[in-house]
Structure 1
């Protein structure tokens, strides 16, 4: 270990002493904060849009390291903190635009009724939990006056005061009693349950709008979060808009007689009333019943810079930061982290003596296509359990939104690319023709050349440069806030 560290330090020193050190840092700047950048090799053409004439041509072999570096774009903070931070910031901008306007959304949406909604999965068996009282002190996990035991002889009580990050939090009191198949299927079907819930909410909203003789529409964004027990639950920001039947793209204020309390009631009733039964499975001919858990929390959102007011209303910055933070997390909180599993790698993770291992095992088992005798009970969707076994059965997107809530992640990324191209230094800035009104497009013919930095020293230099750049931007924002305050 010490020898490798000395080698990296020597490589870093050698790179910094080379004449092209500054050019190399500028070349890798776009991917400097990435842990596993993608290397591309090939030709880059500058083409005059009006005539199709190639004005410049360059091969990546002429560039530092002979390749182009592009960020991996992974949203998971445990895989690539740099790209996850970019994803988090983009999600924050997307959520905030739908709350207070901007990015093509009118500022008037800040006055629309909003509800921050949290919905969870039902219970699949008793688990160890972290509880606190009003003073923030830890409470006993599962106290019982009369001690009972499960069918396997284990006590169904726990008097420990678990820390929030304790290893036992989320672990079942009895692994053999826990309903792993039901949880795996619930994770798989949770996206469909959300879709049906929104349909029910829109129907109820339509009836409410008819009563007030107006037109209303729901717009939302949501993120999925894994609990310690491995079940998915959703956090959503639901906004109430007016509707113009002749201009469906317009974002209008709703009727002032309909407020956040009406919206919260509609959402709560839709959650309580929505349930369905899955298709039959060879392991359960009657299918599984899919419904929400009892923990439903619709809270009005207030336009403010405070985190939480005395009335218990969560504020815009708090909810935007909350949703953005959980958009970069996945199964790590449940104790499992892996890439997509294959028949030769699943046994490494499907350990029956651990809670995450049993979840992986049951996803793989339920997702295995049965023999011909049970083929008539097999539904095509069950194979997704095996495909998403590394995600404990959940195969949906972690961050989704309705069409007219706000902008898109793609639009934010394109705006960032356009800004970089616009502010990138050009070799012909001093040329007399530099001010001529010409439009050029870049046509690239690039091929995959590898993943990661060439050396650990390169990774250290690039990441340090990116960290310094982030610190400078943060200091500039703080200085600007202090001036405008």
Structure 2
């Protein structure tokens, strides 16, 4: 039973809520906390807010937070992770949907002509680091994949009863349920290459960078073979440059698999180059089609392989390449399975997640907290975290005896710069330190533009702007009762807005049908 659902705690929370609701300024407090309502841990700020005339810069008035309810200003935390703050991640997912969708259909400063550009949706997976329990449905008969109840195939069915060098069976005949905790766990922990997996996670971003460059090189070579000339553009420096007539803009979301390896879902849009305006979004030259983009993605995924820098534990480094499963689908705007709206919703959903699917969710680890999560003889996740901490040790510790490793674990974090230093910093993310949603500059609008537009819409247009001189004083609601009231009011507000949107859509549809 969780803490907030214990009888004594719930009674105290209800009493706090009744006490707040009985205060004379209760409705003023609700309005004051409305912008942070629903946030799990809002930021509390104190200081002075000054109203300044937008045209002249003249100070119109000042207000100190001591004059506000609770003597603080509440601000939503803005955390993107659904496991940390459901309300703020809901806002982030909405923004992510708009960022992805605008790159496919236009809107919000993106020209609508991008809807006619060739686009593919590619999924790049990590290679195998050892056999893991998995769930595979060879033939779907369900109507909705999100509620799939089809019978899966056996996990690892083998006729020959082989065993690994550690004496564990190399076969599994279980038909795993979708919620089975065994999914993603190795068949043999000692055979699994945990070191290689965390190194792959930390270098996955570099692998994607090289892959995109290879895609663009493939398309540029294709244009040369087909006689499509290069384009002369004038950059900011002023010197004329001859560039390929096509370029690729992308929107990318990282998803953590159950085994703890990241894979990327990428939207790749093929654009042309306008010699008069290098920032313009124009279609690619005639003759360069979505088939060519599809071929370029597959060719680049097979081609890009590199080795990491030497490490004391592996002087030759680790090979970094994509797995065998590279899925490329074409985006359409019809009624098919892969439409712009479905892809945008799919990517927005994963943009609010991190390592929750693996069963591990923690903040950044330190020498004092890592022992609670890392164990070289523990389960799969404990061994991954231990690999991050061990491989990311400062280079001055180049010994492998047990005493030195124990001393290193309690020592300082990355005090020297080396290629694997990020493993310790991102040990709580199993080595992956990249952003979970990234995009090319030209692909779509930015999160900042969406937030600024929302703030401008909410701000009263009275010719003034508010300038705050504020300091952080804490995070979270003052009481559990305050959290209950603020979150309930926010949930009711969202429900009213949802119902209003549905009613408006119904009225518009009825008007068109009439």
Question: Which residues of 2 match residues 55-454 of structure 1 at below 5 A?
Answer: 55-134=60-139, 135=141, 136-210=150-224, 211-213=226-228, 215-304=245-334, 306=335, 308=337, 314-351=338-375, 352-371=377-396, 380-422=418-460, 439-454=463-478
Query: In terms of mean alpha carbon deviation, does 48-57 or 321-330 score higher?
Result: 48-57
Deviation of residue 256 (structure 1)?
3.9
2:483 counterpart of 1:483: no
Contact 1:219 1:239 in 2 (8 A): yes
Aligned-partner Cα distance in 2 for 1:281–1:296: 29
Deviation of residue 207 (structure 1)?
1.6
Deviation of residue 251 (structure 1)?
0.4
Aligned-partner Cα distance in 1 for 2:18–2:130: 56
TM-score for the superposition, normalised by structure 2: 0.88
Deviation of residue 285 (structure 1)?
0.2
Q: Relative to 1, partners in 2 of residues 1:181 and 1:240: Cα closer, same or farther, differing over 3 Å?
A: same
Q: Relative to 1, partners in 2 of residues 1:447 and 1:379: Cα closer, same or farther, differing over 3 Å?
A: closer
Q: Secondary structure at the match of 1:445?
A: strand
TM-score for the superposition, normalised by structure 1: 0.93
Aligned-partner Cα distance in 1 for 2:45–2:176: 48
Partner of 1:428: none
1:347-387 CA distance string (max 9 Å, x none): 1011332111110010000001133768xxx9712111001
After the TM superposition, which segments of 4 or more aligned residues of structure 1 sit over 3 Å from their partners? 49-52
1:147-177 CA distance string (max 9 Å, x none): 1100100000000010122100000000010
Aligned-partner Cα distance in 1 for 2:162–2:46: 65
Contact 1:261 1:300 in 2 (8 A): no
Q: Relative to 1, partners in 2 of residues 1:212 and 1:455: Cα closer, same or farther, differing over 3 Å?
A: farther
1:70-111 CA distance string (max 9 Å, x none): 111111100111111111110000000001110100111111
Aligned-partner Cα distance in 2 for 1:98–1:362: 38
Aligned-partner Cα distance in 2 for 1:51–1:199: 49
Aligned-partner Cα distance in 1 for 2:158–2:98: 46
Unaligned residue ranges in structure 1 (runs of 5+): 309-313, 424-433
1:234-258 CA distance string (max 9 Å, x none): 0011111111133111001123422
Q: Secondary structure at the match of 2:63?
A: strand
Q: Relative to 1, partners in 2 of residues 1:168 and 1:259: Cα closer, same or farther, differing over 3 Å?
A: same
Deviation of residue 445 (structure 1)?
0.7
Aligned-partner Cα distance in 2 for 1:328–1:212: 44
RMSD after superposition: 1.5
Q: Relative to 1, partners in 2 of residues 1:51 and 1:317: Cα closer, same or farther, differing over 3 Å?
A: closer
Contact 1:280 1:379 in 2 (8 A): no
1:394-432 CA distance string (max 9 Å, x none): 011110000100100111111111111137xxxxxxxxx
